[in-house]
Amino acid sequence: MSDTSDHNKTHPPAKDVDHDGCASPPCLLGELDPVWQGGMDRDEIINLLNTLLEAERAGARGLTTMASEYEGDLQRELKTLALDEARWCAMLSTHIKRIGGTPTSVTGSFLEKLLAKPTLAARLSLLDRGQGWVVAKLEESLPRIFDAALQRDLTEMRDGHRGNIARAARLAS
Ligand SMILES: [Fe+2]
């Protein structure tokens, strides 16, 4: 015969369970490892951030070089874009270190491809594609990142890139 008094020592009576307050198992998923919910694990996040860091470094260096080749408003705009890329590099490095990874020192091949373009229009066109790639990569990745601080900064980076695509388009026109 079961002893209900013992049972109740470890299991509260059903009437005490607050279903509205979400005591059901699905609600406890939030306390599980993000990977169980389709989130990226630490290594996947570090790989993603380092991939972005390589690309941003290439963008920052490419834009800095381009800015040195022009004057006036165009130079100012290119410098602004370069500073943004450098800011993302710093943000990405900070997060990589925070979660225990090592920021890559590699500069993406985008730099060579960019500077090999013979005209400003061709460079701006490639920059546009590069910025678009970053936006797409972030759009694809953000739903799988549950680290709130990282999600906030990567969202800002995505929105910043959208703004810079529009900015570069104005330069090209
Ligand atoms: Fe970028």
Q: What is the mean pLDDT of residues 159-173?
A: 86
Q: What is the pLDDT of residues 87-115, one digit of tens each?
A: 999 999 999 999 999 999 999 999 999 99
Distance 107 CA to ligand 1 centre (A): 13
Distance 87 CA to ligand 1 centre (A): 10
Gap between the Cα atoms of 41 and 131, Å rounded: 25
Which has the closest alpha carbon to 58: 155, 169, 119, 133?
133
The per-residue pLDDT of the chain, averaged, comes to 86
**In sequence order, which residues have a C-beta less than 8 Å from that of residue 23 and are 6 or more positions away?**
17
All domains of the chain, ordered by start, with CATH? 39-172 (1.20.1260.10)
